[in-house]
């Protein structure tokens, strides 16, 4: 909120409705991922392959739709299958080996990065997959993933709506379902959780698959919106998701956090990214700001948690 006030006071474009629509857009696709990554982090794991997976799914949509000449929905379904398979593989490897998810997903991250480039070149001969708009059924896919809604004369991307929906859904699952309870427990203390009968392994695999499904959704949105996908799409984003989740109050050690928090983290990210542009500051400073915010957020979270625990004693 401080950030909003800061930029709103400095820039009239920022506080105008079309300005809001503008900075909500990057926040929305980031937010969808941040919410899924937050769930995974509450469950005690990281997914470094989440960013590159948005590229993998977007490229799958592009290649299946254009090179194989399939209907767009077939391409989208194929991308979902690919994403869920990668998510399952991540989760299965992590639960089987007991190795830190950081290392396992770093491995899948690098593998996918290579596959994205290699396979794209193999199929299209270039480093991008384009011409998605000419695929059959593109209109309906565009309506679902990339349409614009007009509110008070300003166009908002439909992704914003999806983002709000996913945040609400994730919050409900976390706080009001058995699965949510298991997520907190698995992240809080996996051995203890298993001792009382929580299916910790299944919970972890489901969380990795959820993150992969979110990457599929965002990847599909990118593919349908841009109609052309670069082979390096999504690389570097995985850390931004984690940053958003941490700014939103997720503990790096797991067992604590919220979906709404992660969404707010994404919102702050979107506001800063475009706010800097509106102020005509050099965009190079963006990452500096992000780093400062991350540090402040971690310190603030720690203080708040300590205070809360001390007050209850």
Show Cβ contacts of residue 5 under 8 Å, excluding neighbours closer than 6 positions: none
Looking at the Cβ atoms of 86 and 205, the one nearer to another protein is 205
Q: At what angle do helices 138-145 and 158-176 cross, to 10 degrees?
A: 60
Q: Is residue 14 a contact partner of residue 270, using CB atoms and an 8 Å limit?
A: no
Give the x-and-dash track for 6-45 against another protein (CB under 8 A): ----------------------------------------
Output the CA torsion 275→48→191→85 (10° steps): 120
Closest to 262 measured CA to CA, from 54, 43, 32, 48: 32
Shortest approach of another protein to residue 168 CB, angstroms?
14
Instruction: Select from 27-35, 78-86, 180-188, 265-273 the region that touches another protein (CB under 8 A).
Output: 180-188
Measure the CA–CA gap between 291 and 280, rounded to whole angstroms: 20
Shortest approach of another protein to residue 308 CB, angstroms?
9
Q: Please give the size of the binding site for another protein, defined by CB under 8 A.
A: 25
Shortest approach of another protein to residue 174 CB, angstroms?
10
Give the x-and-dash track for 183-222 against another protein (CB under 8 A): -xx--xx-xxx-xxxx------------------------
Looking at the Cβ atoms of 136 and 188, the one nearer to another protein is 188
> Strand 154-157 vs strand 148-151: parallel, antiparallel, or unpaired?
antiparallel
Binders of another protein among residues 137 to 176 (CB under 8 A) are 172, 175-176
Binders of another protein among residues 249 to 268 (CB under 8 A) are 251, 255-256
Q: Is 180 in the site for another protein (CB under 8 A)?
A: yes
Q: How many CB atoms lie within 10 A of CB 258?
A: 21
Looking at the Cβ atoms of 18 and 177, the one nearer to another protein is 177
Q: SS3 helix, strand, coil % of the chain, rounded to 5? A: 75, 5, 20
Looking at the Cβ atoms of 121 and 305, the one nearer to another protein is 305
Q: Is 149 helix (H, G, I), strand (E, B) or coil?
A: strand
Looking at the Cβ atoms of 108 and 203, the one nearer to another protein is 203
Shortest approach of another protein to residue 127 CB, angstroms?
41
Measure the CA–CA gap between 289 and 52, rounded to whole angstroms: 24
State how far the alpha carbon of 227 is from the alpha carbons of 69, 216, 311, in Å.
14, 15, 54
> Which stretches of the chain bind another protein, using CB under 8 A?
172, 175-178, 180-182, 184-185, 188-189, 191-193, 195-198, 251, 255-256, 309, 312-313
């Amino acid at each position: 909120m401080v950030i909003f006030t800061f930029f709103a006071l400095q820039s009239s474009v920022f506080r105008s409705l079309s300005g809001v629509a503008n900075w909500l857009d990057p926040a929305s696709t980031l937010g969808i991922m941040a919410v899924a990554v937050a769930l995974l982090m509450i469950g005690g794991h990281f997914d470094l392959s989440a960013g590159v997976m948005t590229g993998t799914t977007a490229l799958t949509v592009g290649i299946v739709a254009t090179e194989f000449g399939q209907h767009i929905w077939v391409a989208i379904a194929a991308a979902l299958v690919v994403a869920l398979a990668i998510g399952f593989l991540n989760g299965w490897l992590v639960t089987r080996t007991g190795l830190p998810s950081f290392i396992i997903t770093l491995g899948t991250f690098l593998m996918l990065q290579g596959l994205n480039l290699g396979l794209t070149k193999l199929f299209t001969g270039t480093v991008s997959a384009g011409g998605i708009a000419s695929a059959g059924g593109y209109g309906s896919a565009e309506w679902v993933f990339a349409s614009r809604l007009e509110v008070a004369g300003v166009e908002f991307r439909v992704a914003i709506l999806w983002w709000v929906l996913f945040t609400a859904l994730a919050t409900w699952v976390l706080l009001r379902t058995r699965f949510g309870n298991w997520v907190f427990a698995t992240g809080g203390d996996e051995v203890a959780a298993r001792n009382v009968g929580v299916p910790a392994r299944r919970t972890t695999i489901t969380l990795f698959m959820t993150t992969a499904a979110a990457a599929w959704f965002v990847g599909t949105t990118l593919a349908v919106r841009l109609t052309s996908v670069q082979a390096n799409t999504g690389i570097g984003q995985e850390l931004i998701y984690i940053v958003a989740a941490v700014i939103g109050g997720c503990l790096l050690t797991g067992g604590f956090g919220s979906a709404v928090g992660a969404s707010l983290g994404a919102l702050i990210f979107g506001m800063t990214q475009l706010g800097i542009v509106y102020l005509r500051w050099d965009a190079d400073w963006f990452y500096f700001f992000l780093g400062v915010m991350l540090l402040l957020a971690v310190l603030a979270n720690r203080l708040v948690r300590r205070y809360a625990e001390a007050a209850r004693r």
